[in-house]
Copies of this chain bind each other. A is one copy, B any other.
Amino acid sequence: MSDVASLAGVSKMTVSRVLAGRSASESTRARVQRAIDELGYVADAAAGALSSGRSSFVAVLVPSMSSSNFSDTVSGLTAVLEPQGLELLIGDTDYSLEREERLVRQMLRHQPRCIALTGAQHTEATRTLLARSGVPVVEMWDQPAHPIDMSVGFSNVSAAREMVRYLAGKGHRRIGFIGGASELDWRGLDRLKGYQMEMKALGLGEPRVVRLGDSPITMSHGAPAMTELLERWPDTEAVMCVSDLSAFGAIMECQRRGIAVPGKIAVAGFGNFEIAACCHPTITTVSVDAYGIGRRAGDALLAALADEEGESATHTRRTVKTRIHYGVVERESA
Contacts and interface: CB of A to CB of B under 8 A. Distances in A.
A176 to B, nearest CB: 20
Contacts of A50: 44, 46-47, 50
A220 B40 contact: no
Contacts of A72: 66
A129 interface: yes
A275 B55 CA distance: 41
Contact residues on A (Cβ < 8 Å of other chain), bracket: 35 or more
A133 B45 CA distance: 14
A319 to B, nearest CB: 22
Interface stretch (A3-11, A107-115, A190-198, A297-305): A107-115
A128 interface: yes
Interface stretch (A27-35, A181-189, A248-256): A248-256
A40 B128 CA distance: 9
A279 B219 CA distance: 8
B249 A132 contact: no
Interface in A163-222: 218-220, 222
Nearest to A69: B66
Contacts of A132: 40
Contact of A220 (B44, B45, B278): B278
A49 interface: yes
A26 interface: no
A106 interface: yes
A265 to B, nearest CB: 16
A278 B222 contact: yes
Nearest to A52: B46
A18 interface: no
Most chain B Cβ neighbours within 10 Å, of A66, A78, A129? A66
A277 interface: yes
A46 B111 contact: yes
A40 B277 contact: no
B55 A66 contact: no
Contact of A44 (B66, B106, B109, B222): B109
A219 B44 CA distance: 42
Nearest to A220: B278
Nearest to A89: B89
A247 interface: no
Nearest to A279: B252
A195 to B, nearest CB: 24
Nearest to A249: B278
Given A43-B109, A75-B92, 6 more contacts: A40-B132, A46-B111, A66-B75, A218-B274, A220-B277, A255-B280
